[in-house]
Structure 1
Amino acid sequence: MLKTIILLTNTVQQQQPLANLLREHNRDLSFCSALRAHDLAAISPDVLRDARLVSFANDIAVSEKFLLQLGHGAYKFYAAPTQYPGLPPAPDESDDDPRCVSVIAQSMTIWPDFRKVVGLETVTIPEGTAVAERDRLVFSRLAHLFWRMSGMIAGEAADLPGIIESDESQRPSLAMMN
């Protein structure tokens, strides 16, 4: 039974609004807050067994060991220019002024080939938009995607349905790992 949502965010200010939104769909949820990898490491394995991780606008790498301990999966909400689908732009490519950005909700697994996109929106940035305004537009679409999916995130489903996913028949099992 899903009891806890672990919110991995970029800032402390993002925690409460996201928790409030998820609580509207499941009043019984409790929440753990995390900003960094060491915050995740401090969470008890007993909590992880009945938990789901939701990473929102945070690029912290989550360890394989942590992902394997989660009883209800992990999902990442992030934005990426469409010319780098699924990847943040390289630091030396920041001169690019992407006019089209995707906001993505994706499952997090230890097998990269088996991650699936569970939510996707594209944002077209008007030409001549200032960087701060572009960031605000993209972040507001990311927040909208989270809002749209909040019922599924807070629900009991062990695995959210993918809108883009790999062949399910090829998904590794625990037996394949041994």
Structure 2
Amino acid sequence: MSLPKVNTNVVQELQEAKSTINRLQEYQSKNWAIGLNGDTFQPDNFLTYFDNRDLAFNYYVQNKGVSIGNSTAYTNNINEVKKYALAIVESEVSATNKTISELENYKNNFWAIGLNGDSLQPDNFNNFFADRNIQFKPFVRNKGVEIGQESAYDENINALREYIGQLEDVRSTIGVVA
């Protein structure tokens, strides 16, 4: 039995990817070992990062008469993290655009958001926003329940557009795969 993978906020995960790329570039500039500590030959944080995300990893160790891999491992690993991060951005932008379209449809039909208009139970918008740590504003006018303001539709849509902007900023800092 393997340990469960823990989900994290998308923006945090993308920041971690960028940090990993920067650290790999630093190790490359110093010709340091990756995958195993060059002195102790114990697994390092790079290997842990890649393993936790099921990413392909290339070792590079040149020390104490041990030669594992070659220096292309740095570039290969950097490209693997870039592909991973860019796939996250693409998926997240697509999901967010879909949610914007759903919110626009709900607005056009004056449907409740935040709570299901019939059952008054939480809807999927709550989870979508919570998973991304984005403030969500509900709007319900049904069965004598009045929650929020009609402006909640546009405020939520604008919050999601800002979120897409953050994702695009991260994409531009990660760059393209070499």
Shared topology, TM-score over 0.5?
no
Greater Rg, structure 1 or structure 2? 2
After TM superposition, the score normalised by the length of structure 2 is: 0.26
Which one has the bigger helix percentage?
Answer: 2
Which one has the bigger strand percentage?
Answer: 1
After TM superposition, the score normalised by the length of structure 1 is: 0.26
